[in-house]
Amino acid sequence: MSRQATLETLTHALPLIAPSMLKCDFGNLQRDVSLLETAGAALLHLDVMDGHFVPNLSYGPMVIKAMRPLTEMIFDAHLMISEPDRYLDDYLDAGCDCITFHVEAVDDPRSLLRRIKQADAVSGLALNPGTPVEALEDSLAECDFVLVMSVEPGFGGQKFLPVALDKLRRLRQMSAAGTMLSVDGGIGVKTIGEAAQAGANLFVAGSSIFDADDYGVAADELLTIAKSYPASSSTEG
């Protein structure tokens, strides 16, 4: 899918729940992908960890490439890795439609954001809970979306950090009209409403989806709550 087609698909689907594949059953990966597709998921959030930028290892381009033929859902690779520029082509070749990397992992994100867009993929930039939004200010014009971490990256199942709410509010004011705002970490029925009200419109959800008996019911419940807390300034559509 082209960058423009991906952006149009995402924009028309907002607000959107993005299942975090860190919490899937890797022993039944094909089954989980099929269940998520049946549940109506439009985007899979692929958590890539290198054991260096974050203190954990997950999976890399080989696993993503093996997943690619299983579905036409949009793949967003969240690169929680050092030197993301060095490995960009591997994730593009694996079939990722969106590439998100961390502002803390590079000296100047703008050149890598441009490379992603030149490769006809959607560009995303993430920041950790302890990183001020000013770190993104010079790069926002190159971002298709911004990912605010509401937990420390590296592990699933953590509690939502309220510091993310102020960052979302500020980024909604700072960002261009079409910039999507994503939030990742601790998103569930008790937290998604506040995140939506603060300006998020793309919600990464792990435990709240994969710990449920029915992925579709869980995602619909989250989406219903998110829609009931509209942001004061929204870019949807």
Which residues are marked as active site? 47, 184
Cis? peptide before 153, omega within 30° of 0? no
Helix axes 29-38, 215-227, angle to 10 degrees: 50
H-state helical runs in the chain: 3-13, 29-38, 61-67, 84-93, 109-118, 163-174, 192-198, 207-210, 215-227
Distance between CA atoms of 56 and 47, rounded to whole angstroms?
A: 11
Q: Which residues contact 225 (CB under 8 A, 6 or more apart)?
A: 189, 192, 193, 196
Q: For residue 234, which amino acid is it? A: S
In the β-sheet with 74-80, what is the strand arrangement from edge to edge? 16-19, 202-205, 180-184, 145-149, 122-127, 98-102, 74-80, 43-49
